[in-house]
Amino acid sequence: MRTALIIALLAQTLPGETPRWIGSGACEPCHRAIFESWAKTGMARTSGATGDLHQKDFRHEFRDGRGVWTYEVSSRAGELAVRAYKANGMTAGTKLSYFVGSGSVARSYLTETGGFLYEAPVAFYVRRGEWGLAPGYERYASPYFARAVAPGCLECHATGVQPVAGTQNGYASPPFLEGGAGCERCHGAGSVHARTGRREDIVNPARLDAERRDSVCEQCHLSGEVRVPRGDMAEFTAGQKFADYAVAFSRESSPARMTVTSHVENLAMSACRRASGEKLWCGSCHDAHRQPAEAEKAAWYRSKCLTCHAESACPEKPARRAAQADNCIACHMPRRRVSDAAHVVFTDHSIPRRPRNEDAGGGTVNRDAPLAAFGERSPGARDLGLAYAILGAREQNATYRERAFGLLESANRSHPDDPQAIAYLADLYRQRGEDGKAIPLYRELMRIDPGQSGAPAALGAYAMERGEIAEAIRLWRRALEISPALPLVRVDLAMALIRRGERDEAREVLGKALRFTPEFPAARQLLDQLR
């Protein structure tokens, strides 16, 4: 009797105890059925170490678009690797350590060098059943291994991501504690609940208010054309509001362009959501623990439609054969044409009366259209300014940069300690030749956010202009500690080292540049001169 009481007392939450992350495996003993079906979903399998992926050895080859480089992907004894070579004997290659994407459309790979992660230049395209260049890599003339993997990428695809502070793409080993979207991404840290088994000690999205409930899926499914951080997304936990951590922007004119809007934005356009409001959410049609089998889909989704619509609601029904008429999604949530791209809404979540013609209307996009925040009528100058600045830089859009400039100047006046605003404002001043304003901002940025390579890289260039070679070398070395690839910084650093007669150091810096991008002309020429 007394022991039972003591156990019962021990099982209670200790006052003020903060739940810790314990991993999905710890939920399995008490929630076995959910665990087993969840483990089969794309979300659960969306990332991991490549060692677990290929049982059999294989070797595949393909050429780049110019027919110059041949890429060989091979798996031997569980080790997956890529090697690129060309006729003149030049080669480059690396192990593929991690994968991203369960493989419903495409699978990306990550490489690891000295604790830093980079995207691999190759990807596997599931529909074609073929290896090819990763999306966006056609534009490089030679193999490119220098694209840093920012923590955001893994935060949407893995659980318990472990970035190293003060770096841009450095990670502890292993870089994430669990592959895929683990239980606690949607339910919050579970240490207390796993001990007590009490429902008060765990988050159930279905019991949250609509904004917090939707936020659980939005942390990964709401991206817009650009996502502006407000806080540290890594700290987001189920039960909080997405809007406190980030805000998604898209071009106002994008009519229902399926390629650019995320599932959340797409669903928000539907008459169903607009008319039924918060009642309709992702969980109205999807079970996060289970993906319906192909044969089951028509009936599965039909039953969801019929929670709101009467069978007689559809005027088309009498005209069709029963089986066809029952497949509501075949007509109202059609899939787009076959595509290889990741981050595309394939199924039209705007639930139109009649299938929209993808080519009609949306043909030409106004690249300069104003940006609008999802779910917010008047985003502040800081958020809007950053949205224009980030897209302006990504798309080389001068109009967006100009809009960003005024907004960020005023944001910086009211919040002079915001590292993101400083970073983009400093770059804008630099592009406009206003160096006297850029330099103090870069210095401030190095002080408040030592994990951004852009500031020391730019300050190094300014120091070089003033003839302060030692200072430039110090700053560029600092930039490379934060993010070791940076091929352009490596070339600048090598030139500075050569001017000081430090030829061996220059050779080493250039050699490493060529490991990230083997044909980089500026680096090759300098290295040839050194020989």
The CA-CA-CA angle for residues 131, 132, 134, to 5°, reads 120
Measured from the CB atom, the residue of 27 and 446 that comes closer to ligand HEC is 27
Binding status of residue 169 toward ligand HEC by CB under 6 A? no
Whats the size of the chain, residue-wise? 531
Give the one residue of 133, 146, 168, 185 binding ligand HEC; rule: CB under 6 A. 185
Binding status of residue 288 toward ligand HEC by CB under 6 A? yes
Q: Which residues lie below 8 Å from residue 140, measured CB to CB, with a gap of 6+?
A: 121, 517
Cβ atoms of 83 and 72 within 8 Å: the answer is: yes
Which listed range, 48-56, 345-353, 470-478, 504-512, lies at the site for ligand HEC (CB under 6 A)? 345-353
Binding status of residue 509 toward ligand HEC by CB under 6 A? no
Give the one residue of 59, 207, 367, 503 binding ligand HEC; rule: CB under 6 A. 207
Mask: binding to ligand HEC, 363-402, rule CB under 6 A, as x and -? ----------------------------------------
Measured from the CB atom, the residue of 308 and 448 that comes closer to ligand HEC is 308
Query: From the CB of residue 120, how many other CB atoms can be counted at a distance below 10 Å?
Result: 27
Measured from the CB atom, the residue of 63 and 207 that comes closer to ligand HEC is 207
Measured from the CB atom, the residue of 244 and 435 that comes closer to ligand HEC is 244
Binding status of residue 248 toward ligand HEC by CB under 6 A? no
Which listed range, 4-12, 74-82, 161-169, 312-320, lies at the site for ligand HEC (CB under 6 A)? 312-320
Which listed range, 98-106, 382-390, 432-440, 489-497, lies at the site for ligand HEC (CB under 6 A)? 98-106
CB of 331 to ligand HEC, least distance (A): 3
Measured from the CB atom, the residue of 152 and 451 that comes closer to ligand HEC is 152
Q: What CA–CA distance (Å, rounded) separates 188 from 194?
A: 12
Q: What CA–CA distance (Å, rounded) separates 128 from 106?
A: 10
Q: Compute φ and ψ for 328, nearest 5 degrees.
A: -55, -40
Give the one residue of 120, 122, 267, 446 binding ligand HEC; rule: CB under 6 A. 267
Mask: binding to ligand HEC, 99-128, rule CB under 6 A, as x and -? -xxxxxxxxx----------x---------
Q: Which residues lie below 8 Å from residue 192, measured CB to CB, with a gap of 6+?
A: 13, 17, 19, 201
Rg, the chain, Cα only: 26
Measured from the CB atom, the residue of 269 and 469 that comes closer to ligand HEC is 269
Q: How far apart are the first and last CA of the chain?
A: 85
Measured from the CB atom, the residue of 292 and 440 that comes closer to ligand HEC is 292
Q: Token pair for residue 409?
A: 């100047």
Give the one residue of 309, 367, 432, 447 binding ligand HEC; rule: CB under 6 A. 309
CB of 382 to ligand HEC, least distance (A): 20
**Shortest-Cβ-distance residue relative to ligand HEC:** 42
Binding status of residue 31 toward ligand HEC by CB under 6 A? yes
Give the one residue of 181, 247, 438, 473 binding ligand HEC; rule: CB under 6 A. 181
| Cα dihedral 99, 46, 153, 138 in deg (nearest 10) | 50
Which listed range, 71-79, 165-173, 193-201, 395-403, lies at the site for ligand HEC (CB under 6 A)? 193-201
Q: How far is CA 469 from each of CA 221, 323, 381, 395, 408, rounded to the nearest angstrom?
A: 47, 76, 38, 33, 32
The CA-CA-CA angle for residues 270, 254, 260, to 5°, reads 80
Q: Which residues lie below 8 Å from residue 303, measured CB to CB, with a gap of 6+?
A: none
Q: How far is CA 29 from each of CA 38, 181, 304, 476, rounded to the nearest angstrom?
A: 14, 19, 30, 52
Q: Token pair for residue 187?
A: 């339910």
Closest listed residue to residue 210, CA positions, set 273, 162, 122, 148:
273
Site for ligand HEC in 428-457 (CB under 6 A): none
CB of 439 to ligand HEC, least distance (A): 32
Q: What CA–CA distance (Å, rounded) separates 70 from 132?
A: 11
Give the one residue of 64, 184, 225, 492 binding ligand HEC; rule: CB under 6 A. 184
CB of 240 to ligand HEC, least distance (A): 12
Cβ atoms of 243 and 231 within 8 Å: the answer is: no
Cβ atoms of 418 and 430 within 8 Å: the answer is: no
Site for ligand HEC in 213-242 (CB under 6 A): 216-217, 219-221, 223
Measured from the CB atom, the residue of 228 and 345 that comes closer to ligand HEC is 345
